Amino acid sequence: MLDAIGARFRTEFGGAPFRRFFAPGRINLLGAHLDYNGGDVLPMAVDRGIYLAIRARDDGRIRLRSVDQPQAIDVAAADVGERTRPELAWAGYPLGVWHGFQQQLGLSAGFDAVYAGDLPMASGLSSSAAIEVVTAIALDALHQTRLERQQIALLAHRAETGFVGVRCGIMDQFASALGRAGQVLLLHCAGPRWEHVPFDPAACEVLVLDTKKPRHLAKSGFNERVAQCATAHEILRTHARDLPHLALYDENDLATARSAMDPVSLRRARHVVTEMARTRAGAVALRRHDYEALGKKLSESHRSTAVDYEVSCDELDVITAAACACEGVFGARLTGAGFGGCAIALVRPGAAELVQQAVGAAFRQRFGVDAGFDLLRSGPGPGEIF
Ligand code: GLA
């Protein structure tokens, strides 16, 4: 990966010195769609992510290349604007981060950059957050702005919500910016506050199950869920209690407000409220290294995202059910926003190969497609590569 970005950088931008950075992608153990509802989430940075070769420029030009994506972008700072445009494609993420540095820190210098990733793109492992975070730590290092990791995460998050226009929560950018090897991030999104909880690789491994189903509806479906949760919250505030976030309600509140709730609001709220309880129970299990109990919560979470939140699909339901039927699997669920992309299974070390064979065969038989499999490890947070 490093050789590939280095070679491409020299070909595109010449041989003067450049610097290299990395930011991880993430899986999320529990807390599906809780971040923008003020709930708790349990993401873990993985040993895959986005690599960047970069050199600052004195003028305001920004030139962006990707080893994996065809679009090459050359823009003048004055033309970056306030929002991305369709023709900018993936480059909207780094440009959004640059825009944040310009707005908040007065940055005017441009840069030349080449990106490459070893995460499947747009599949629920947060390649976009990793692009944002790697750009932010690189600009921070090049211009010595000395931002803290939390500020990096918030700047990256604003690039996605403000510039790109996805109304996502803070989980992905925090997971990437605050990732630590061997640790899961327990992030209380309402604060935000966080702590790191150890994950024991000798007791449990994370197998990614890639359905290869593109997430075409992810952006519109995602923003629709955000709006539906706002509606449900409003009903609960009026008919149960006035709490600042949907994730803070409980099942008694749902019972109190039930007659006022339309069926969609009720289902969305029920997922959020029960997922919050599952995430808390999962964090307790994780601290005890009880991967059986943690795995059960993942499988329950999948059912709730499928039935009440309606962000699963046949491919994700089949692949998680096939995994759960295997010996040595603690539990499985979709990861990321859903609507396609990847699921994760927690597996006993040594079991992954047989799981892969059985799940691969079941998936091929049903859909005629070869699913992808990848054993991911917890990985370090972002940083410069020397
Ligand atoms: C996407 C969003 C996150 C989060 C998840 C669902 O990954 O970017 O903010 O909402 O979906 O948990």
- pLDDT at position 120 is 72
Q: Say which CATH topology domain 205-376 has.
A: Alpha-Beta Plaits (3.30.70)
**Nearest protein CA to atom 11 of ligand 1, as residue:** 337
Residue 193 alpha carbon to ligand 1 centre in Å: 18
Ligand 1 atom index nearest CA of 169: 9
Q: Is 77 in the pocket of ligand 1 (CB under 6 A)?
A: no
Q: Is 336 in the pocket of ligand 1 (CB under 6 A)?
A: yes
The CATH 3.30.230.10 portion of the chain extends over 2-200+381-385
- pLDDT at position 78 is 87
**Nearest protein CA to atom 8 of ligand 1, as residue:** 168
Q: Is 300 in the pocket of ligand 1 (CB under 6 A)?
A: no
Q: Which CATH class is domain 2-200+381-385?
A: alpha beta
- Tens-level pLDDT at each residue, the chain (386 residues): 899 999 999 999 999 999 999 999 999 999 999 999 999 999 999 999 999 999 999 899 999 999 999 899 999 988 999 999 999 999 999 999 999 999 999 999 999 999 999 987 667 899 999 999 999 999 999 999 999 999 999 999 999 999 999 889 999 999 999 999 999 999 999 999 999 999 999 999 999 999 999 887 667 799 999 999 999 999 999 999 999 999 999 999 999 999 999 999 999 999 999 999 999 999 999 999 999 999 999 999 999 999 999 999 999 999 999 999 999 999 999 999 999 999 999 999 999 999 999 999 999 999 999 999 999 999 999 999 99
Residue appearing with tokens 């046949």: 314
pTM for this entry = 0.96
The arrangement of strands across the sheet holding 61-66 comes to 73-76, 61-66, 111-117, 43-56, 19-28, 383-385
- pLDDT at position 121 is 65
Q: In this predicted model, what pLDDT tens digit does every residue of 67-110 receive, in sequence order?
A: 999 899 999 988 999 999 999 999 999 999 999 999 999 999 99
Contact 334, 189 (CB under 8 A): no
Q: Is 139 in the pocket of ligand 1 (CB under 6 A)?
A: no
Q: In this predicted model, what pLDDT tens digit does every residue of 164-202 receive, in sequence order?
A: 998 899 999 999 999 999 999 999 999 999 999 999 999
**Nearest protein CA to atom 1 of ligand 1, as residue:** 337
The CATH 3.30.70.890 portion of the chain extends over 205-376
- pLDDT at position 278 is 98
Q: Which of 26, 29, 33 to mutate to test the pocket of ligand 1 (most atoms within 8 A of CB)?
A: 33
Task: Please give the helix or strand (H or E) that residue 3 lies within, else none.
Answer: helix 2-13
C-alpha angle 96-211-335 in degrees, rounded to nearest 5: 55
The DSSP output letter for 161 is I
Query: One of 112, 140, 172, 374 is an active-site residue; which one?
Result: 172
- pLDDT at position 217 is 60
Residue appearing with tokens 């070869």: 370
- pLDDT at position 119 is 87
Residue 289 alpha carbon to ligand 1 centre in Å: 25
Range 164-168, long-range pairs (CB < 8 A, 24+ positions): 164/84, 164/92, 164/93, 164/96, 164/128, 165/83, 165/84, 166/219, 166/222, 166/223, 167/36, 167/222, 167/223, 167/226, 168/35, 168/36, 168/222, 168/337
172 is catalytic: yes
**Nearest protein CA to atom 4 of ligand 1, as residue:** 33
